[in-house]
A and B are shown apart, each in its own frame.
Chain A
Amino acid sequence: MVEPKAQAPVERPPNAETVLPLSRVRTIMKSSMDTGLITNEVLFLMTKCTELFVRHLAGEAYSEAFGQKTGEALKYEHLSQLVNKRKSLEFLLQIVPVKIRVHEFQEMLRLNRSAGSDDDDSESGSESDE
């Protein structure tokens, strides 16, 4: 029994290997409230798709900022800019917020107040972890 394996390595050949740990992805999936049973197949697919997403996010942020140029440094603001721009990344707006300076924030608050609206729920906070 000889199994035909390993075709010529193309750009990114489809494969059944994941680089992210399945167990961690399972934990993450379970943290979403009403996730029921997670089959191995679904776990595999989610892991793969998360890997793709990481590639996608990094690649897009880079090319959006630098185009085809090589050797540039990808920074936080490139990511937050992309998230701000892309409809499909809307779900990350609070996860990767555009950072603003304290005085800008105060200015924003001031403008908000003077605009006469008394809704105080637009707090976006410019905290920095790490």
Chain B
Amino acid sequence: MVERIEDLNLPNAVIARLIKESLPESASVSKEARAAIARAASVFAIFVTSSSTALAHKQNHKTITAKDILQTLGELDFESFVPSLTQDLEVYRKMVKEKKEIKASKKDTSTTENANASTTAPTEEATNE
């Protein structure tokens, strides 16, 4: 599944940004420290995934659910993550639901006005300057 080991690395720039955000003003991070954090993050993801999978299997589920992950985090001593993740998940679920509804409502209208709509060609770049 993984062709190259680099496929398991998380993008440097994003990691650097996340680190920066979590440190006080004007603090810096050595390259080696950043690389170590990136590596640790990948391993963390694998660790949580396999622990959650084990938990799901124990409950005779084939696939892991959000609940499995949250419970696993608690067991692995990262329960401090759970409240904010729960909130994020709520927002995410709401977003997915809204998207679905928008899609559904679009389908309704598009069947009636299918003929005249949706032919707006993107020619903006040509008009600019």
Contacts and interface: CB of A to CB of B under 8 A. Distances in A.
A115 to B, nearest CB: 31
Q: Give chain B's interface secondary structure class.
A: helix
Interface string B18-42: 1101111111111111011111111
Contacts of A52: 81, 84-85
Given A44-B92, A45-B66, A21 B11 contact: yes
Q: Give chain A's interface secondary structure class.
A: helix
B84 A16 contact: no
A51 interface: yes
A36 B63 contact: yes
Given A41-B93, A45-B89, A52-B84, A74 B24 contact: no
B64 A42 contact: yes
A109 interface: no
B10 interface: yes
A78 B23 CA distance: 13
A48 B70 CA distance: 12
B19 to A, nearest CB: 4
B43 A92 contact: yes
Nearest to B68: A42
A107 B8 CA distance: 35
Contact of B24 (A15, A46, A49, A62): A62
B104 interface: no
A18 to B, nearest CB: 9
Contact of B37 (A54, A71, A73, A87): A54
B29 A73 contact: yes
Contacts of B73: 49
25 contacts: A25-B10, A29-B45, A29-B46, A36-B53, A36-B62, A46-B45, A46-B49, A52-B81, A52-B85, A54-B15, A54-B22, A55-B19, A59-B23, A70-B24, A71-B25, A71-B26, A73-B29, A73-B30, A76-B30, A76-B36, A79-B33, A83-B40, A88-B78, A96-B39, A130-B31
Interface of B: 1-2, 7-11, 14-15, 17-19, 21-33, 35-50, 53, 57, 62-66, 69-70, 73, 76-78, 80-81, 84-85, 87-96, 98
Pairs A-B, 9 closest by C-beta atoms: A14-B87, A88-B77, A55-B22, A59-B22, A16-B92, A71-B26, A76-B32, A58-B19, A70-B24
Given A34-B57, A75-B33, 4 more contacts: A14-B84, A32-B49, A41-B92, A61-B33
